Amino acid sequence: MNPFFILLLAVAFAWGRLWEAVVLFAIVLWHETCHVLAASAYGLHVTDIELLPFGGVARMEAFLQLNPQIEWVVAVVGPLSNFSLVLLGLGLRPYFEFHPNWFRFFIQANLGMALFNLLPVLPLDGGRVLRSILVRSRGFADATRSAARLGQALSAALVLGGVYGIFLKRYNLVSMLFLGVMLFASARQEQNNASYVFMRYLSSRKQELRLRRVFAVKNIAATVESSLGEVLRSFQPPCYHMIWVLDLEGRVTGVLGELELISLLFEHGLAFKIGAAAPHKFS
């Protein structure tokens, strides 16, 4: 459980709203369980789940973030699971007696969680869908950075809304302040983890190549003055990348495979010029 969720439970207990927090906890757990089931359908192993008041984060052993065809499906299952609970509640209402206040809270909590998570910002589910779209044309690092910055912008707006509520003594808006702080921290962590996730992906690429044996190929053209870091930002997993090296006149001087580029990365670092990589010369 994220510390913010524990804080939420403590505040709810102090205000006599503990049972509402428990219901919210159950809804979040359901939301994340559906993410896990969707990931398991693709054979992805979940290592842990971090519960947050607006949802949670399911961490996978496999590199889900680097497979856009799968990431958006696993992401969108979360909000859809909350919509399914809304439909289930409305369908059962004619046959069972529910306390009006509890029923209203249940419906509002599920709708709120679903709609909030559909916002196209990281670390929300909508942000993962956005990243899976952007990564096809902008690469993983840039796509993650853009979606995370949108998350930070949204969190800043929420913080301002909470401060505005305090100024006007509208304390029902104060929750926006805590939500904004929590969202900013999560978006920042998502952005910081992007490089770590990508490096883990690169280091496992050789083993993946041996296991899968057949890959779709993406061609990238880079001049001899391009750095390894600039080339890596153009990578679009799960494709295998072939890098065509051009001189400053636009002539092809050689070609590098993805695994060769990874070896150069670990040996020389991101700033290493691809022109000094002694690519295979064409006769």
Contact 120, 150 (CB under 8 A): yes
Q: How far apart are the C-alpha atoms of 29 and 82, rounded to whole Å?
A: 11
Catalytic residue among 20, 32, 71, 249: 32
CA distances, 217 to each of 35, 183, 198, 242 (Å): 29, 36, 18, 7
* Residues 6+ away with beta carbon under 8 Å from 221: 243, 244, 246
Take residue 33 and report the two structure tokens written for it: 């369980």
* Residues 6+ away with beta carbon under 8 Å from 136: 68, 236
Q: Would you call 32 a catalytic residue per the annotation?
A: yes
Tokens 């853009």 -> residue: 146
DSSP 8-state class, residue 66: G
> Would you please indicate which residues are annotated as catalytic (active-site) residues?
32
